[in-house]
Amino acid sequence: MNRRRHGRVSAAITLVCAFAVLSAPGAGLLSQAYAAPASPAAPGAPGVPGPTSSPSAVAPPPVELPPGVSQSDIAPSGSAAPSLDDVRKEIEALYRKAASATDAYNLADERAKKQSAEVVGLTEDIVKGQVRLDALKKQAGAAARAQYRGGGLPPEAELMLTGDPQLFLDGVGRARQGQKATRDLIAELSRTQEDLKTYTADAGTRWQELEANRAKKEKAKKEITKQIAAAEKLESSLAEKDRTRLAQLEKDAAATAQSAWLGSGALQEINRTASAQGRKAIEFATAQIGKPYVWGAEGPGSYDCSGLTLKAWAAGGRPIPRTSQEQWRLLPRVDVKDMRPGDLIIYFQDASHVGMYIGNGKIVHSPRPGRHVTVTGAGSMRILGVVRPDA
């Protein structure tokens, strides 16, 4: 009996000890041994070492935003904060898009002006033709009335009825002249009517083209305004010290590109002098230094890039196309190594910018909104090619 009681007590003590062990803080180790494997900790988590960074890989300082401007204003949600150089490139891209739209606007504007003049000219031709047609109809009516007053007999019949030989001979001559005049009158009347039809049709076609180019102008204007506004918003969202750093970054990027261009030996063979017309064009262009860039402007107080080269070469006595893209498309091209002062350097793959080479590896140009006509390195932007207005 005592042995049975002792066995029950031993079993109870054993059970109590087991529960004590399982409920202790270290008992989680036992459950972990049979649980599903845990997901590996991500690098950088507390207690988990991340990959070793290269000592040279130093991230650029983040852009400091002014009060009231959030990170989402300049970068998508969830993305890393852009560096100031990223912002510079984005602003540059926006102004490039605005420049392309400006070329489209200027081309549409130039064509609209030409078509408007053609419509005016055709309208004047239509008015003149109508006046001439009315006069010819009156002349034909007068001839018909004269014949009616003569009894309705044609001149040939009247001659046959005359008894005077001299009158007959004189009448033959007059009849021939009258016949010729009638034929000429009818022919001119027909031509005038056909001309009026042609003028009317041409005027209708030109009017449709004019309206199409006006629509293109408005579309391009909206695109220009949109891109410039986006660039200005992005730039104005920066703190004052970041805007100062941004301006320096722009200068540094231009200087780096110019140094690389000069280092390529691009100027080794460029030693030609400007032509007489080229010197006049350069004189005009450099006299505009300090005037602001305004898209679509051709002076005298402001210019866009192609407006400056257009007026400069007009001063040199050589008219050229209005836009940088048309200047690239239509003017004679020369190799960079054969470049001389006065030549035009076309920039970027879409030919959206142009500057005038003035020698010593420099150009004068009107850069973009917010900037002024200035002198900079010819290799500070990506060169597409060179054209020569007076080739």
The residues assigned a catalytic role are 305, 353, 365
Q: Where are the beta strands (DSSP E) in 293-366?
A: 333-334, 344-347, 353-359, 362-365
CB 64 within 8 A of CB 239: yes
Beta bridge partners of residue 83, listed in sequence order: 62
Nearest to 339 by CA among 379, 296, 303, 373: 379
Residue 141, phi then psi, degrees to nearest 5: -65, -40
Report DSSP letters for 273-310, one per residue.
PPPHHHHHHHHHHHHTTTPBB-TT-BSSS-B-HHHHHH
**Residue 144 Cα distances to 1, 133, 137, 140, 181, angstroms:** 160, 16, 11, 6, 13
Cβ atoms < 10 Å from Cβ of 203: 18
Q: Which residue has the tokens 């391009």?
A: 220
Q: Which residue has the tokens 């041994």?
A: 33
